[in-house]
Amino acid sequence: MTSTPDPLHFPPRFAWGVATASYQIEGAPAEDGKGPSIWDTFSHTPGQVRGGDTGDVACDHYHRLEADLDLIQSLGVNAYRFSVAWPRLQPAGRGPVNQQGLDFYSRMVDGLLTRGITPWLTLYHWDLPQALQDQGGWPSRDTALAFGEYAALVAGALGDRVKHFITVNEPWVAAFLGHAVGIHAPGHTDLAESYAAAHHLLVGHGLAVQAVRAHAPGAQVGITLNLYEGYPATDTPEDRAATRRQDGFQNRWYLDPVFGRGYPQDIVELLGDASPQAQGLVLPGDVELMGVPTDFLGVNMYSRSVVEDAPGEGFLHSRAIQPQGSEYTGFGWEVAPQSLTDLMLRLQREYDPPAIYITENGATYPDTVNEDGTVQDADRTRYFQTHLGALEDAITQGAKVRGYFAWSLMDNFEWAEGYDKRFGLVYVDFGTQARTLKQSGRWYRDFLARTRKAVGA
Ligand code: IFM
Q: Is 313 a catalytic residue?
A: no
Calculate mean pLDDT across residues 220-244. 98
Cis peptide before 311 (omega within 30 of 0): no
Ligand 1 nearest atom to the CA of residue 21, by list position: 4
How many whole angstroms from 457 Cα to the centroid of ligand 1?
31
Q: How far does the centroid of ligand 1 lie from the alpha carbon of residue 312, in Å? A: 30
Nearest CA to ligand 1 atom 10: 414
The CA-CA-CA angle for residues 6, 9, 11, to 5°, reads 135
Question: How many whole angstroms from 413 Cα to the centroid of ligand 1?
Answer: 10
Measuring from atom 1 of ligand 1, which residue has the nearest CA?
414
- Can you tell me the mean pLDDT for 49-73? 98
Q: What pLDDT digit, counting tens, does each position of 409-438 carry?
A: 999 999 999 999 999 999 999 999 999 999
- Angle at 366 (CA atoms; ends 56, 29), nearest 5 degrees: 10
Average pLDDT over residues 60-80: 99
Task: Name the amino acid, one letter, at 3.
Answer: S
Residues 308, 360, 392, 414: which is the catalytic one?
Answer: 360
Pocket perturbation via mutation, ligand 1, pick of 360, 361, 421 by most ligand atoms within 8 A of CB: 360
Beta bridge partners of 406: 18
pLDDT of residue 455: 80
Give the residue, out of 170, 329, 420, 421, with the most ligand 1 atoms within 8 A of its beta carbon, to mutate for a pocket test: 170
pLDDT in tens, 242-267: 999 999 999 999 999 999 999 999 99
Q: Which domains are present in the chain?
A: 7-227+286-302+333-455 (3.20.20.80)
202 vs 168: CA distance, rounded Å: 8
Alpha-helical (H) ranges within 159-315 are 171-172, 191-215, 237-247, 253-258, 265-271, 286-290
pLDDT greater than 70 at residue 57:
yes
Q: Whose CA is nearest to atom 2 of ligand 1?
A: 414
Q: Does 360 participate in catalysis according to the annotation?
A: yes
DSSP state of 280: T
pTM given for the model: 0.98
